[in-house]
Amino acid sequence: MSLLLKLPPPPRIVLASASPRRRELFALLGLPFEIIPSSYDEPTSPNKAVVLSEFVTHLATEKAREVAQHEPDAWVIGADTEVAMDVVGTPLGKPRDTEDACRMMAALAGRRHLVCTGVALFRPSSMNLPPLSIAVSTWVKFRALTPEMIADYVATGEPMDKAGAYGAQGYAAPFIESFEGDFFNVVGLPLCALGQLLETAGLPWSAYRSHSEKPPSTA
């Protein structure tokens, strides 16, 4: 008898994010899940250096906590991604306007920067267990960019809802000279680390994987 037949029905899993990129990536785990965006009032990015991994883990935990309070029977997952120039640095946040987006892109051009995603997991309240969290970092190197290239990219509108003012899976892809670490982490959800977090929490996610549908495209 296979492990799948021995398992109870899959638990209720909630992704506490409105990000379409995270929704597409999470679907690659093959688990049934719901989307309930967190209404946590995220603070503005600090104007001082922080330990980026601690910062994103805190925000991910608060996002997940807000949803978990209303969904006590669910496994709730929250995430937050930030960009900074170093492990301890000032988070760039999302651009306020096109001028700010151009400023961020100019700061990244020709340099290496850090993308860090925090992921938090709240288990059902009946389990009476504390939340778990992880942070994953990826180094990204941009090629040199001219002011015209930056202006053309910002004019696409793509940078406006993204930390660091760019999307690695979008029109900014030709700007990326190299990266060290998990590419999916740059997009917004480190899938390998997330799978390991679920396993640590006692959820054998791969045993619940659905084989009836092809995985969605993340293009």
| Tokens read off for 43 | 């603070």
The reply to whether 170 falls in a domain is no
At residue 74, the pLDDT reads: 97
Average pLDDT score over residue span 94-99 = 96
Query: 41, 80, 100, 152: which is the annotated catalytic residue?
Result: 80
For position 64, which CATH number holds?
A: 3.90.950.10
Instruction: For residue 80, indicate whether it is catalytic.
Output: yes
The reply to whether 82 falls in a domain is yes
- Number of independent structural domains in the chain: 1
The reply to whether 213 falls in a domain is no
The reply to whether 214 falls in a domain is no
The reply to whether 85 falls in a domain is yes
The span from the CA of 188 to the CA of 173, in Å, is: 15
Average pLDDT score over residue span 35-43 = 94
The reply to whether 159 falls in a domain is no
The reply to whether 37 falls in a domain is yes
The span from the CA of 189 to the CA of 56, in Å, is: 12
pLDDT of 94 higher than 50: yes
pLDDT tens digits along 14-31: 999 999 999 999 999 999
Burial letters for 162-187: b for 16+ Cβ neighbours within 10 Å, e otherwise? bbbbbbbbeebeebeeebebbebbbb
The reply to whether 144 falls in a domain is no
The span from the CA of 216 to the CA of 200, in Å, is: 26
Range of the domain at 42: 3-95+114-138+182-208
